[in-house]
Structure 1
């Protein structure tokens, strides 16, 4: 099929649309979308970005590193974690640029990595194995953290003491305090999120490792029962350990709905559907919050449960399609975007909301396409195509289509952050400096303007401010710190985009 110059320009324009065009009434089916030759005109190498977004997790590993470790400047660390309570808690991930293992964001990271693979793993080809290894590194740890009934070990490390040091994880000598929740000191939100992570991951391994999948599902069931029976906010009982780092501001109701949704999907046990039907409104299914991240799961639960209605035709969950549509309509006001077009929710690590929202957009578009449905916002029709285009715009901004002409993924593109807020990346590696770097000695590096010597490939940082400005200052953790929960949902979006443009 040949195209005129006008047709080519029109197709190019589709990828650089503005918010004013977001609500025009043109509709394009998913089949047409995949047939259109505009896939040749991708402005980014999404396959390369996908590879790097998964590789990043190897740089965040704690514990005994495997022989096939690709981020070679990282070495073993935290090999005695858990010994303070006579439990094996070696492994898992450091959440961001420090050396603490926080169970709450780690569990959310695991859930979102798993959801990325569940929805788009079939498109990942050679990267699917790496994505599954990233998930398993987390789930192996979460199984250890939940080994004792009615108890979850939710943190390793004293965050206040850890943050008083700037040292490599291989050198850390701060207290590896073990923090737990139990029936006397409940933590419903972190328990329910852990259940969600285990349930979602059980689906990832269902076909390739049946035994492991069954173990994950069984543990998810018991952990959710614990979360539901012993209710309490973990940042109340464990305030001195988890706040202000990962305080829970949204309550635990969203995690209970989210956890039940994942268990419904993973086990197909009708008891979870009944739980959702009976408790959904109480747990905030129709609340107006539209920010999805490690703290608030309401939007994610709405999108996930909408699939049960749209695709599996579970009529009792019809309301969740409306709840999900409300989220989509909330993304329309221009006031939510920077002048350069980036979704902006808050100054602290804003890119986490960009990546999580983009994932929800392409995922919901998939569900709507399957059901041949659209979203109605006022008098305007929003098609699945428009959701995908908005998601692409956000990912493209992250990869370099922005006023700074900078990729916010380390190692991708010609210009990216050089001074990320990350201890291991900023300090000399063990190979180049085998001698211990003491607790406070590293602060001279942290405060310097020198680029990080170790490139944490694939790390996505917090991103620019509301005016699209990014200073690339190591001390500015709001903008310059990467985190696992920024990358996890991006994996799914990049897999979708790489496939759509013929790169996978």
Structure 2
């Protein structure tokens, strides 16, 4: 049955012949696993303890041979064995015991060389733990359930879905859109890595979970809902998202032509344009739909100029766009150029660089607020203008040679989310290396910074991964014990490790 094994997972195949009609396959493990990546069938049911799974599919035609494939992933235990498999109640010979080993992320060879496929797997589990809305039946995070199913009810819209922000329960559209842009970018440029890691389906699902939500939020050409949930109200409550009282409908906030919201709208346009490329071959109709929304949002962003916090004032204390909106307009135009190859958007890029030259015509940063370095490296790839290459090189040279360093080698980009920030820099410098700019130097820098995060210092900063990983992360859902135990401020003040493992979560850092 077992066709392939790698750290954290096995891939198995069952071939059915001489059978007709409806069918089921029952799999039993001796420890918790997650079944996904199915082909030729799908998981119909999974026991709550993640030990027993039922796979089924379309009826088998007379004389046909049918093959079912699936992946079994470790789920926070010391390893799991497939102990039984049945087809329509009859025992199947499973051959050698198939062990699903834990995620092991230790240096392979020199310091800084890691099993990056296992890290990708863990990171995508984190995205699933952050999901809001109605969860699919094949969910991989057993301690998460349906939540916030009334989002949008106060405005008569369906605004369910999307992602919770960090360890909280608000859906902040601005950083969420940035996340989907960069995740899509990673899939466009590094699809072979996701395939090698066995995570292509999961990364597509992660992107689509976000873009489906953005489509819901874009209720017409000049109306976009950029936040659900009140930040202060959310921060005053500690508990499971699944336990949010139905009587307490969360407020939805939008931008309109009354003021606009060019930073939020521009970033969301970029996200949908990038995602349209990510789905262009695998899901062309959905790709076209994403691009239609991206074009509309870009026009809205450019025509009605304002920072989004002018209308969504609640976000100002949490995700205020300090850099303004010029970087998002240029960033969105660059992604529209890449997605459409329409020279109109090259003219739009030039327009924004002229108007916002003080911000854009110099080396910049890259994160949920400032997109200028991202626009520079993307445009260096698209149009080849030397000035964009120069700005990227100056940015990366500063990061490599001049940025302050911690005693153990972290390029320190600021106190709030230092590991997140340096990861963003590493991504930009890897993109620069692809252009042939200081390739060896920038690759070595990126590898050293990711190595710091994964364990070069003797400990990991990624939950559930590697040596001595974090276990007390500030996160509502993972801090809660299993129901029916109440989750409240007692869980917040619990001095012990979180009851649930938030696999793949990157903590803020030093």
With the length of structure 1 as denominator, give the TM-score of the two structures: 0.76
Tell me the equivalent position of 2:156.
86
Q: Report matched runs for 1:11-410 at 5 Å.
A: 41=110, 43-125=113-195, 126-173=198-245, 174-239=248-313, 241-284=314-357, 286-288=360-362, 290-310=364-384, 317-368=385-436, 374=437, 383-402=438-457, 405-410=458-463
Report if the CA contact (8 A) 1:161-1:175 is conserved: no
Report if the CA contact (8 A) 1:158-1:175 is conserved: no
Against the structure 1 CA distance between its residues 155 and 354, is the aligned structure 2 distance closer, same or farther, given a 3 Å change threshold? same
SS of equivalent to 1:306: helix
Q: Distance in 2 between matches of 1:346 and 1:40?
A: 31
Tell me the equivalent position of 2:470.
417
After superposition, give the CA deviation of every residue in 1:311-344 in whole Å (9 maximum; x if it has no partner): xxxxxx3321122122122213445221211121
User: Which structure has the larger Rg?
Assistant: 2
Q: Distance in 1 between matches of 2:391 and 2:467?
A: 41
Q: Distance in 1 between matches of 2:149 and 2:382?
A: 42
Report if the CA contact (8 A) 2:334-2:379 is conserved: yes
Tell me the equivalent position of 2:479.
426
Report if the CA contact (8 A) 1:60-1:93 is conserved: yes
Deviation at 1:361, TM superposition (A): 1.5
Q: Distance in 1 between matches of 2:432 and 2:386?
A: 15
Aligned length: 398
Report if the CA contact (8 A) 1:309-1:318 is conserved: no
Deviation at 1:175, TM superposition (A): 4.3
Q: Distance in 1 between matches of 2:412 and 2:310?
A: 29
Report if the CA contact (8 A) 2:454-2:462 is conserved: yes
Deviation at 1:152, TM superposition (A): 0.6
Q: Distance in 2 between matches of 1:289 and 1:260?
A: 18
Deviation at 1:83, TM superposition (A): 0.8
Deviation at 1:55, TM superposition (A): 1.4
Please say if 1:459 is aligned against 2:505.
Answer: yes
Higher relative contact order (CA 8 A, sep 6+): 1
Tell me the equivalent position of 1:29.
none
Tell me the equivalent position of 2:81.
none
With the length of structure 2 as denominator, give the TM-score of the two structures: 0.76
- The structure with the largest helix share of the pair is 1
Farther-moved stretch of structure 1 (150-159 vs 346-355): 346-355
Report if the CA contact (8 A) 1:420-1:461 is conserved: yes
Q: Distance in 1 between matches of 2:108 and 2:339?
A: 34
Report if the CA contact (8 A) 2:405-2:411 is conserved: yes
Q: Distance in 2 between matches of 1:296 and 1:92?
A: 22
Deviation at 1:279, TM superposition (A): 2.6
Q: Distance in 2 between matches of 1:175 and 1:344?
A: 41
Q: Distance in 2 between matches of 1:46 and 1:70?
A: 20
Against the structure 1 CA distance between its residues 236 and 221, is the aligned structure 2 distance closer, same or farther, given a 3 Å change threshold? same
SS of equivalent to 2:224: strand
Deviation at 1:359, TM superposition (A): 1.0
Deviation at 1:275, TM superposition (A): 1.1
Structure 1: runs of 5+ lacking an equivalent: 1-37, 311-316, 369-373, 375-382, 465-504
Farther-moved stretch of structure 1 (345-354 vs 212-221): 345-354
SS of equivalent to 1:461: coil
